Structure 1
Amino acid sequence: MLFGLPLRASDPDPTGSVLAAPTASGSATPSAAARPTKAAAPPVYRLAGTPPERGENTFSYGQTTGKVVGRSGTLRRYRIAVEDGSKEDIEKFGDFVDKTLADPRSWIAGGDLRLQRVAEGESYSFTVYLATADTSHDMCARGGTNTNLDGEPYTSCRTVGKVIINLDRWRMSVDHFVKAKIPLETYRTYVVNHETGHELGNSHVRCPGAGKPAPVMMQQTLFLNGCRANPFPYVNGKLNTGPPL
């Protein structure tokens, strides 16, 4: 947004430039409106570089306790964990998860759930993990979920008490999102809400119709099937869902 005094209709500027407001002495000085504005950063669709395939298979846990979010309902506490050797900042990851789950379009919108991030050592209901592809695959497999696609670890998953985010997806999103120029932040928000949705008892659903926003419990990591990418469970104040898978 440009700031400064707007031109009046009675003061045309034949050069097309913004007029400078005169000073008390009558001389003109550049107004705030004439100053160049900083260009917005271009959207990021995936990060450069190749994430490590496997870390140390040990985890560091967040040391931050946040506010309770949500109006009412059952309080579910979660902690944050990042695999050692993943080269990821645990507090940045935790902040993103917090922002996602605290959004008024997220799971708290139903009015029957409250969420709170807690520090290591406090009581918790579930843990949100960020793990390398191989480690996340092993963790998911132990919980009964195969995350392979074409023989390679690909998706994220949820097992009992564990929301497990695949570092490859966290950094690189998925091809159909990138080709459609859907920002990485949108994919990250989706995958946190999707896997947390499983922890909250929600199952997969299908696209409700071409051109409609995809339900967050649809497997958007694998396909959109005519739906539009959508990272939140609630759209326009209503739970956005589709036919059972």
Structure 2
Amino acid sequence: MTTHKDKRSSRRRTGSAHAAPRGSGRQLAAGLAALGTLGVVGFAVVAWLPADAKHSPMVTDAVTGAEHTPSASSTSRPPKAKPSPTPKPSRTEEHRIAIPQSGPGTFVTAPGRSAVAGKGKVLLYKVEVENGIDVSPAEAAKEVERILADPRGWTADGHSAFRRVSSGPTDFEVRIATPDTVDTTCKQYGLDTIGEYNCSVDHNVMVNLKRWVLATPVYAKDVTSYRALIVNHEVGHFLGHGHVTCPGKGEPAPAMMQQIKGMLGCVPNVWPYDAEGRLITGPAVP
């Protein structure tokens, strides 16, 4: 459940023993020469086989690198095998983000500013991340900028525009914080987020770190999309939009629907508007 309170309403080498054959010195010399030749050949095999056979493919959650082992019967050194390309793992594969329950309640603001997205009244906002949590303010700001600038977002209403800043007065702040910090802020306005939800209160769009990292079961394999839903839903509250419910089975779920409570027959959707600019909504929730 997302809640709101609007201000304005990580070969063992083996060998065999060889006995020198009886015969002339010339035969002995020839035998020794033959042994010497075998020794050289044997060394060559030991020298290259382990190196070329050694292979340590990179493994991600879903991808294993291909392995190539040269044939031991080859009489000449084979060309070096080219490694199979491995897709770059996502951030959650490279590094699991810790989710502390609480933090200091202080924030660092993402630097820089964005271009204006949309037409109409320009709403200035900051992106802030609670100190001590493993989220890059700059990366978080890029995500929020992308979401608010998407043509399926709130700019499609024709009168809302957004610009991110890092200083000066703002209309609202998007704050990513620990569950306890979100609870504390939201409770000040009479909302109980129980360590699980997000909220929009006054000029604060409070994003629960747990939801930012884990999403919900419906969006667990597409966390990026769920982040868009968080931002669109809570900024929607700031703009004055209330909760709505599923308009019908198989229909796209409205961004202002409390999807964390269940889809109610709707299919996942994270945008307020569709590609044709039509508002995706449903019956109002009292």
Describe the SS at the equivalent of 1:235.
coil
1:17-38: per-residue Cα shift (whole Å, max 9, x none)? Answer: xxxxxxxxxxxxxxxxxx9776
Cross-structure match for 1:228: 267
Q: Which amino acid aligns with 1:239?
A: L
Over 3 Å counting, the alpha-carbon distance change for 1:49 and 1:62 in structure 2 is: closer
Cross-structure match for 2:181: 135
Q: CA deviation at 1:125?
A: 0.5
Over 3 Å counting, the alpha-carbon distance change for 1:233 and 1:83 in structure 2 is: same
Tell me if 1:158 matches 2:158. Answer: no
Cross-structure match for 1:68: 116
- TM-score (norm. length: structure 2): 0.66
Kindly tell me the number of residue pairs found equivalent between the two proteins: 201
Cross-structure match for 2:137: 90
Over 3 Å counting, the alpha-carbon distance change for 1:75 and 1:91 in structure 2 is: same
Computing the radius of gyration from Cα coordinates, the structure with the larger value is 2
Describe the SS at the equivalent of 1:77.
strand
Q: Distance in 2 between matches of 1:65 and 1:42?
A: 26
Q: Distance in 1 between matches of 2:88 and 2:274?
A: 27
Cross-structure match for 2:161: 114
Q: CA deviation at 1:176?
A: 3.4
Cross-structure match for 1:146: 192
Describe the SS at the equivalent of 1:221.
helix
Q: Which amino acid aligns with 1:134?
A: D
- Check conservation: 1:207, 1:227, Cα contact below 8 A: yes
Q: CA deviation at 1:202?
A: 0.4
- TM-score (norm. length: structure 1): 0.76
Cross-structure match for 2:247: 208
- Aligned match of 2:278 in 238, 241, 244? 238
Q: Which amino acid aligns with 1:79?
A: K
- Check conservation: 2:154, 2:272, Cα contact below 8 A: yes
Q: Distance in 2 between matches of 1:231 and 1:44?
A: 21
Q: Distance in 1 between matches of 2:218 and 2:114?
A: 34
Q: Which amino acid aligns with 2:269?
A: N
Percent identity at matched positions? Answer: 35
Q: Distance in 2 between matches of 1:43 and 1:59?
A: 22
- Check conservation: 1:133, 1:167, Cα contact below 8 A: yes
Q: CA deviation at 1:77?
A: 0.6
Q: CA deviation at 1:222?
A: 2.0
Unmatched 5+ residue regions in structure 1? 1-34
- Aligned match of 1:52 in 100, 104, 108? 100
- Check conservation: 2:98, 2:134, Cα contact below 8 A: no
Over 3 Å counting, the alpha-carbon distance change for 1:96 and 1:55 in structure 2 is: same
For the aligned residues, what is the CA RMSD?
A: 2.1
Cross-structure match for 1:217: 256
Q: Distance in 2 between matches of 1:42 and 1:63?
A: 24
Q: Which amino acid aligns with 2:177?
A: A
1:66-86: per-residue Cα shift (whole Å, max 9, x none)? Answer: 10110x211111011110011
Unmatched 5+ residue regions in structure 2? 1-82
- Check conservation: 2:174, 2:206, Cα contact below 8 A: yes
